Amino acid sequence: MANTMIDHLWFILLGFVAGVLGSMIGLGGGIIVVPVLTFLGFPPTTAASNSLFAALSNAVASTISYSRQKRIEYSLGLKLGLLSIPGTVLGAVVSSDVAPDIFKILFGFVLIASAAYIFLRKRIETKEKKTSIQMMVFVAGASFFAGIISSFFGIGGGIVFVPLMVVGMGMAMKKAAPTSQMILLFASSSGVIVHSLLGHPDFIQAGFLAIGSFIGGLVGARLSIDIKERYLQILVSVVILIAAGKLFFDSATGNSVLLGF
């Protein structure tokens, strides 16, 4: 048992790195955790469910920090978070039957979309907008869809929520990313529950990821105040695009690293 615990300590480091980046860009750390686990040969459901534990832990830490900085829109975060829950249930159930190669292809496209968002986020124009009935319907549908993505891929759903709040609702980016972390509390916690009931996660691995991600979330929220975001955007975008290319290549060639975790 002791050897098993030691062998899994690297999950703490992975969770920490993912937590720092996830907190700063508002997407959750799954865009880092899931590709790494997938490259190492973890089944899609294990990679996604383990990652959701990290996403939940990261969201808790980030929400605490951003709350102290008074950068969260609580009413909106609560509404979007609750709207995402039905989608997370569906996403967890559907993920049980996905083939590894299909998962890699789909997640590769998610990573490309994430990289595009990260690189262009500062160019997204923010204008105050009135909330119409049509927009409310669209927001509800988008939240449900984000819940599916969150639970299916284990990434939290921030890739949908942040652009939705900035472009669709006119929220400033400095509040959209923190509010997204509050929303991810609901999306990731419901996803964790359903995945656990279905027996998908490895709880030891997920626990170590959660520990690292919690610490990383605290650090990332603090660093977000001072860091030059443009350099971070370029670095993360390049890494994500490389990961997407690797996923497409592995899917096409049938390559995977099967490790006995």
Report the distance separating Cα 169 and Cα 28, nearest Å.
21
Token pair belonging to 244: 């997407």
Cβ neighbours of 212 (radius 10 Å): 26
Amino acid 172: pLDDT: 74
Amino acid 126: pLDDT: 52
Amino acid 190: pLDDT: 93
∠ Cα 73 119 64 (to 5°): 30
What are the helix (H) ranges across 198-257? 203-223, 229-253
Report the distance separating Cα 31 and Cα 204, nearest Å.
21
Q: Which amino acid is at 77?
A: G
Amino acid 230: pLDDT: 66
Report phi then psi at 256, rounded to 5.
-165, 150
∠ Cα 186 190 191 (to 5°): 115
Amino acid 260: pLDDT: 44
Average pLDDT per 10 consecutive residues for the chain, totaling 261 residues: 65 90 72 87 90 89 85 89 92 86 85 76 55 73 88 80 75 79 89 93 93 88 69 70 81 60 46
Report the distance separating Cα 242 and Cα 169, nearest Å.
32
The full DSSP string for 13-71 is HHHHHHHHHHHHHSS-THHHHHHHHHHTT--HHHHHHHHHHHHHHHHHHHHHHHHHTT-
Whether the CB-CB separation of 217 and 55 falls below 8 Å is answered with no
Amino acid 253: pLDDT: 78
* pTM of the predicted model as reported, rounded to 2 decimal places: 0.80
Q: 79: burial class by Cβ within 10 Å (0-12, 13-18, 19+)?
A: middle
